[in-house]
Amino acid sequence: MLDNEFPPLGGGTGVVNYHLLKELASYRDVSVDLVTASQSTCGPETEQFAQRITIYKVPGGNRNIHHATNGDLCRYAGRALWLCRTLLKRHDYDLSFAFAGVPAGVISYILKQRHKLPYLVSLQGPDVPGFEARYNYLYPFLKPLVRRIWSEAAVVTAISKDHQCLAHGSLPNLDIAIVPNGVDTGRYYPTEAPRRTARLNILCTGRLIERKGQHHLLRAFARLLADSDRSLRLTLVGAGDAEDRLHRLASTLDLDNAVTFTGAVAWEDMPTVYRQADMFVLPSQNEGMSIALLEAMASGLPVVVTNTGGTTELIVEETHGHVVPWGDVSALTEALASLVRDENTRRRMGHECRQRAMQFVWPTIARQYLDLCERIAARAQPGAFSVYESTPKGLESTHH
């Protein structure tokens, strides 16, 4: 398994990888070697995640744990490839699993060309051309590469219908399976404690970057605050390249006393952050399928989202919350105002969000990925039995 980010490095892709490994640890017939990156510059590190799951971390020297530079990605690709070729001498792998077409998919592609190892590519977001505006200068150069990587993969997956559609813009006839993201509903759940304050807390979590749209949210919140007689607070959780600009915009809009920038919050503290909120906003320009949105829904929060990736699968207008166009500050303001005005609607929508999130649990997602991996392994080894069916106790496979 290949992934340039894994907690504490990175964002949603690393979270997906972490939860997938947690589920795979319960399968006695599955072994995984994950090759990821670390902030270290001193050499590879090894961590035993579970009995049959080992994490190898190549030195990356990442200065920012939330965002990898192009240099970080290139260093990971070169060092991870070298380590993978060493691991191939020790183990009999059935396939490689690449989280994102670039850079992990590049490594899987090379391993197939040189070692005949089939691979799965799980598209995750910015690795799909057209996903993020700040990479528009790179996409013309990356598109021929990702087309080749996707074409040679045994399976390519996307995390939502919109994500699949965007990928088809680069390779229209490619068969792309949809495996959505998931959420830990035992970790993220609604609060049962009564509200101790009259102030309504609006929450937005995510990297502070242009694509996430927090600048539109600040403008909408300023209008909401001016027109409402409720005591309101907007909490922005996250860090990123746009943080200074957003602070300046909040000051310009005279929001310093009504907006809290928490910076990055530790993973273990995030469930509490959601339970302290009254509603959740995701004003993004583009998403594959937002982990933060799933966490908010599992926490029983009504939501206001833009019509972006994952929305179709997760949100029904007026049932779970409101869907507004990207960049439409007026529509965003009105959607927020409608929830601010009606506590019963917030409660009803929050309940519906929780019920919807229960359909996206990690055991189900892991099973879908395993079914695809089994299919790849069976094609590579005709006549092989299903290694993912229940196995008599004590009989374990050595396949990776």
The predicted structure's pLDDT at residue 40: 81
Residue 282 lies in a domain: yes
Residue 2 lies in a domain: no
CATH at residue 24: 3.40.50.2000
Same domain, 75 and 120: yes
Residue 145 lies in a domain: yes
Give the mean pLDDT of 218-235. 96
Give the mean pLDDT of 88-96. 96
Domain hosting 219: range is 200-357
Which pLDDT band holds residue 400 (cuts at 50, 70, 90)? low
326 burial class (0-12, 13-18, 19+ CB within 10 angstroms)?
Answer: middle
Size of the chain, expressed as the number of residues it contains: 400
Residue 132: pLDDT above 70?
A: yes
Same domain, 145 and 247: no
The predicted structure's pLDDT at residue 145: 97
Half-sphere exposure of 275 (CA within 13 A, CB side): 14
Report whether 302 contacts 282 (CB < 8 A). Answer: no
Residue 400 lies in a domain: no
Segment 292-350, tens digit of pLDDT? 999 999 999 999 999 998 998 999 999 999 999 999 999 999 999 999 999 999 999 99
Report whether 146 contacts 170 (CB < 8 A). Answer: yes
Segment 244-258, tens digit of pLDDT? 999 999 999 999 999
Same domain, 216 and 138: no
What CA–CA distance (Å, rounded) separates 354 from 185?
Answer: 9
Instruction: Look at 86-90, 115-119, 190-194, 347-351 and tell me which has the smallest mean pLDDT.
Output: 190-194
Question: What are residue 280's phi and psi, to 5 degrees?
Answer: -125, 140
Residue 387: pLDDT above 90?
A: no
Structural domain total, the chain: 2
The predicted structure's pLDDT at residue 385: 39
Residue 194 lies in a domain: no
Which pLDDT band holds residue 392 (cuts at 50, 70, 90)? very low
Give the mean pLDDT of 82-101. 96
Same domain, 53 and 108: yes
Same domain, 63 and 178: yes
Residue 68 lies in a domain: yes
321 bridge partner residues: 303, 317
Same domain, 207 and 353: yes
Same domain, 207 and 250: yes
Give the mean pLDDT of 158-184. 97
Same domain, 262 and 312: yes
The predicted structure's pLDDT at residue 41: 75
Residue 129 lies in a domain: yes
The predicted structure's pLDDT at residue 17: 97
What CA–CA distance (Å, rounded) separates 72 from 326?
Answer: 31
Question: What are residue 320's phi and psi, to 5 degrees?
Answer: -105, -15
Segment 134-159, tens digit of pLDDT? 889 999 999 999 999 999 999 999 99
Same domain, 104 and 208: no
Same domain, 285 and 273: yes
**H-only helix segments in 198-279:** 214-227, 243-252, 270-275
* pLDDT > 90 fraction of the chain, expressed in percent and rounded: 83
Same domain, 170 and 252: no
Which pLDDT band holds residue 383 (cuts at 50, 70, 90)? very low
- The average confidence (pLDDT) of the chain is 92
What tokens appear for 348 in the block? 């009803």
3-state secondary structure of 178: strand
Same domain, 171 and 206: no
Q: Is the dihedral of CA 254, 255, 257, 263 positive or negative?
A: negative
Residue 71 lies in a domain: yes
Give the mean pLDDT of 1-12. 91
What CA–CA distance (Å, rounded) separates 327 from 335?
Answer: 13
